[in-house]
Amino acid sequence: MTQPVRFLLVDDLQENLVALAALLKRDGVEILTARSGAEALELLLLHDVSLALLDVQMPGMSGFELAELMRGTARTRLVPIIFITAAGENEARRFKGYEAGAVDFVLKPVDPFILRSKAEVFYELGRQRQELRAAERRANAALQRLHAHTDNSPLGAVEFDAELRVLSWSKGAERMLGWAADDVTGLGLDGFGLLAPATARAVAARLAALLADPARERAVEAVATRHADGRVLDCEWYCSVLRDAAGRPESLTVQILDVTERRRAEETQRLLVDELNHRVKNTLANVQAIATQTLRTGTDLASFGTTFLGRLQSLASAHAILSDATWSGAAIGELVRDQMQPGTLDAGRVEISGPDILLPPATALRLALIVHELCTNANKYGAFADATGRLRLAWSRRPDGVDLRWEEDGGPAVTPPQRTGFGSTLIEQSARAEGGAATVSWLPHGVVWEISLTFGPTEAATQANGTDAAPEPEPAPPRTGTAGARILVVEDEPLIGMEMLAILEEEGATVVGPVPTVAQAVEAVETQAFDAAFLDGNLRGEPVDAVAAALTARGVPFAFVSGYGRQSLPAAFQSARVVGKPFSSKQILGAAAELLAESSGLKRA
C-alpha cells in the first residue's frame, strides 16, 4: 500500500496552521501540525517528513533554532525546510535562514498559488523518494533471497569481474571447494590453485570469448576443478554475463556443479552394462559351442537332444547357485551334489568328501561342466554302467586352488579309448582354463581322474599347446587360405575355444591352443611362430593388453573375439578387428582369411 507524503507545519498560532493546512490539502498528502519547536521535534522522530514549513517567529524556540536542531540529527538532516516569515526582505535574515538549512522563504501574507507550486515540487520529490526506497527494499530483499539461495544451494556461485578476478564467492562454493571467500576475493583464475595452469588458460580463453560475444554458449563442461585439499573434482560451469546499457560486460557469474559422483556412477553403470553384455554373450557362445560340439559327436537326433539338454541343464544349475549368491561364488560341496542329483547317479554308491571351499564364479561354471561330463561317462561306460560299480570323489584345498580326485571302481572292465572324446577334451581344457591340469588313468578296476584348478590368473606359464617350445620356422611363402596356416587361439572358455579350434582345423589350419591365461599366451607368442591369432578380450578377469602388445611386436595380425564392445577392449589396439560372441563359422573363417592376407602382405579391397 502506498504511504502518503507528509508535510510538517510549525506555527505558534492555530489559525495559521489551519489556513496552511487548507491550502496544502490534496490527495496523497498527510498534514502534521505543531505549535512549538519541541512538539515539532517529537513528530519528526515518529514520522518521515518530505517538507517542513517553519514559522520564523515563535516563542521559546524560533524557526531558525528548530532548523539548526534538525540539521544536527541524522534522521532529520535532509528534510527540506521552507521558512514562513512576516518580516520584509532582509538579506541578513535570508542568509541566516539558508545557513540554518532552508531551501526557500515564503513571505506573509502567503500567496496560495506560490505556496502550492513550491509544495508540489516537494510532493513529487517525496513521492519519488518513496518509490526509490521501495525499489531499494525490493532490491535488498531480492539480494537477500539470492544470497540465501546461493549460500544454501548445492551449486557453488562465483562472480568474476571483466578481468576474471573473483568478486564474490558463495557459501556453497566454500563448502564445495574448500576456500573461504576472504581468501580468494580479488584473485584471478590461476591465482590460488582453483585450476591447474593449463586448465586455467583454456577456461580463461573460453570465458573471455563468452564475455566478448553474448551469442556464445553458456556452459563450460568437464572442468577439472581443484579442491583446497588438493582433490580434483569433475565440474560443470554454467555462466551468465551481466552487461551495462552499452552491452559492455560488467561481471561474469559462474555456477559450479560438482558432477564427480555422477561421472563415477555413469562409468560404473557403463562397466556393469558392458560386463552384463559380456556375460550374456559368453553364455550364448557357450550354448552355441555345446550345440555344435554335441552335433559333431552325436550319432542321432535323440542322442543329441539328451546330451545337449544335459549339458545345458548343468550350466543352468550352476548359474542358479551363483545367482542365489549374487555371483559372489559357489560352495564346492553344493555344486558337486547338485550335479550328482538323484536320477544322475545312484547316491548309495557315491562317496563324496572334502572341506568347504568357495569357488569363484568362472571356476564354478567350469567345474560344473567337468562333473557333468564325468557323471555322463560314468553312467555310459564306467562304474554306473552296471549295478556293482562305486564312485569316490574327494577334494582338498591348496593355497591357490583345489585338487580333486574322481575314482571309479567295480564297474565294467576298463578298455582305454582309441581316441579322445569330446567329454575328455572338455575336462582337460576346462582344467587348463583354470590354470590347472587334468590327467586320467585307465586302470583295470576303473578310471581315475586327477584334476587341479587354480583360482585367478596364474603366473606359472606352461607351454601353450602342452608340448616343448618349437623352434621358430623359416618364413613361409605367402598364403591366402587357412590351409596350412598356424593360428594361435587365446580363449579362457573351454567350450568356446574348442569350437574355434574345430572350425579352423576343419579348414586345414594348425591351431595352437586354446590358451587360457595371459602368461601362457605371452610365452607362446615369444617362443613360437604364428601366421595369425584370435584373442579373447579378457582372460580370467585379466586384461589382454600384454598379449596384444606381444603379437604386435612380433608382427602377428590378430582379431579380438569378445562379448565386450570395442570401447571396453584395450585402448591401444582400437584398430584391431573384432569378432563378437556368439560367432558363426563364417565370421571366424572370414576374419582368419583377412588376417592371413595381411600376414602375407596382400591388399584387400
What is the tens place of the pLDDT at every residue in 354-398?
Answer: 998 988 887 888 888 888 888 888 888 888 888 888 889 999 999
DSSP helix/strand/coil, 480: coil
| Residue from 434, 457, 440, 483 nearest 542 by CA | 457
What is the tens place of the pLDDT at every residue in 9-32?
Answer: 999 999 999 999 999 988 889 999
Type of residue numbered 95: F
Residue 600 has a pLDDT of 79
| Residue from 7, 272, 299, 260 nearest 127 by CA | 7
CATH code for the domain of 594: 3.40.50.2300
Over its C-alpha atoms, the chain yields an Rg (Å, rounded) of 47
C-alpha pair distances (Å), 550 with each of 512, 513, 535: 16, 16, 12
Residue 171, C-beta contacts closer than 8 angstroms, at least 6 positions apart: 150, 151, 152
Residue 284 lies in a domain: no
Percent of the chain with pLDDT over 90: 17
Residue 325 has a pLDDT of 61
Is the per-residue pLDDT at 272 higher than 50? yes
Number of domains in the chain: 4
Q: What mean pLDDT comes out for the span 403-421?
A: 84
Q: Are 251 and 332 within one domain?
A: no
Cα 412 → chain centroid? 62
> Running DSSP on this structure, what letter comes out for residue 195?
B
Strand 29-34, strand 358-359: pairing: unpaired
Residue 541, C-beta contacts closer than 8 angstroms, at least 6 positions apart: 362, 456, 457
Most confident among 135-144, 272-281, 441-450 (mean pLDDT): 441-450
What is the tens place of the pLDDT at every residue in 129-171?
Answer: 888 888 888 877 776 676 666 666 778 888 999 888 999 888 8
Type of residue numbered 169: W
Bridge partners of 403, per DSSP, are 396, 452
Residue 494 lies in a domain: yes
Residue 55 belongs to what domain range? 5-135
CATH code for the domain of 413: 3.30.565.10
Residue 145 lies in a domain: no
**Rounded CA gap, 492 and 434, in Å?**
8
Chosen domain end from 258, 279, 311: 258
Residue 470 lies in a domain: no
Do 31 and 19 touch, CB atoms closer than 8 A? no
Q: What mean pLDDT comes out for the span 208-226?
A: 76
Residue 259 pLDDT grade (very low, low, confident, very high; cuts 50, 70, 90): confident
Q: Are 96 and 161 within one domain?
A: no
Chosen domain end from 404, 434, 454: 454
Look up residue 339 and give its three cell numbers.
550335479
| Residue from 157, 161, 196 nearest 174 by CA | 157
Q: Are 443 and 508 within one domain?
A: no
Q: Are 98 and 186 within one domain?
A: no
Q: Are 409 and 443 within one domain?
A: yes
**Rounded CA gap, 434 and 517, in Å?**
8
Residue 246 has a pLDDT of 83
Q: Are 130 and 200 within one domain?
A: no
Q: Are 61 and 157 within one domain?
A: no
**Rounded CA gap, 570 and 584, in Å?**
24
**Rounded CA gap, 223 and 93, in Å?**
72
Q: Are 215 and 77 within one domain?
A: no
Q: Are 85 and 157 within one domain?
A: no
pTM: 0.50
What is the tens place of the pLDDT at every residue in 535-581?
Answer: 998 887 788 899 999 999 999 999 999 877 777 788 888 888 898 88
Q: Are 32 and 126 within one domain?
A: yes
CATH code for the domain of 247: 3.30.450.20
Residue 477 lies in a domain: no
| Residue from 547, 531, 535, 523 nearest 486 by CA | 531
Is the per-residue pLDDT at 490 higher than 60? yes
**Rounded CA gap, 188 and 121, in Å?**
49
**CA angle, 573 then 574 then 580, to 5°:** 105
Residue 462 lies in a domain: no
Q: Are 313 and 447 within one domain?
A: yes
**Rounded CA gap, 479 and 508, in Å?**
13
Residue 7 has a pLDDT of 92
Residue 463 lies in a domain: no
Cβ count within 10 A of residue 576: 18
Residue 402 has a pLDDT of 92
Residue 476 has a pLDDT of 44
Higher pLDDT, residue 223 or 298: 223
**Rounded CA gap, 373 and 353, in Å?**
19
347, HSE (Cβ side, Cα atoms, 13 Å): 8
Q: What burial class does residue 236 get, using C-beta atoms within 10 Å of its C-beta: 0-12 exposed, 13-18 middle, 19+ buried?
A: middle
Chosen domain end from 414, 432, 454: 454
Residue 106 lies in a domain: yes
Q: Are 168 and 130 within one domain?
A: no
Cβ count within 10 A of residue 268: 10
